[in-house]
Structure 1
Amino acid sequence: MPISYLKSHIAEIARDLSESREPLPINQNGETKFVIMDVKSYEEQEETLALLKILALGNREIEQGKFRDTEDVFAELDEQ
């Protein structure tokens, strides 16, 4: 969708984005330059990225040997 369409139809686009929750690519000179999305979709995407970062960090720590066996953790909890 060209950027000129965005400028002239912003209210309609905002309504459609809220309903469809699909991102909308915006073209400039024949190339996609921007993607717009509704706030709720953006927030959900940010949450997903944060969870993926946590998983990647956990995997990295496992690869570095920075973990404890579950049996040891549970045994320690039982002692308390």
Structure 2
Amino acid sequence: MRYSTRIKPISYFKANAAEILADLSEGAEPMILTQNGEAKAIVQDIRDYEKTQETLAMLKILALGMEDLRAGRVKPLEEVVARLKDRGQDENG
């Protein structure tokens, strides 16, 4: 992703907020906002933000699973399936 053309001072955002939000909703890349020449915030479409959050959640789940695997906190598939079948039979009579 190239953000070089999407870096603007906060004053630009204040003056053009409606246009920027419309551009974002139409698929424009996120915009980096600066204050006193320093990057301070990123403005992006809510759908893109939600996708990013979902991706991060999935990566966290994957990392936790890999941690469990390395620590030996796993069970063979056959054992899990057998336990689920036994549990289902206990509940059904």
Normalising by the residue count of structure 2, what TM-score does the alignment of the two structures yield?
0.75
Shift of 1:37: 0.6
Q: What CA distance in whole angstroms lies between the structure 1 residues aligned with 2:28 and 2:76?
A: 42
Please give the alpha-carbon distance, in whole angstroms, between the structure 1 residues aligned to 2:54 and 2:46.
Answer: 12
Pick one of 15, 18, 27 that aligns with 1:20: 27
Asked if the contact 1:21/1:41 (under 8 Å) is kept, the reply is: no
Residues matched between the structures, number: 79
Read off the aligned partner of 1:59 and give its amino acid letter. Answer: M
Higher-Rg structure is 2
CA distance 1:21–1:71, change in 2 (3 Å): farther
Percent identity between the aligned chains?
46
Matched, 1:47 2:48: no
TM-score, normalised via structure 1 length: 0.86
Specify the code of the residue in structure 2 equivalent to 1:39: I
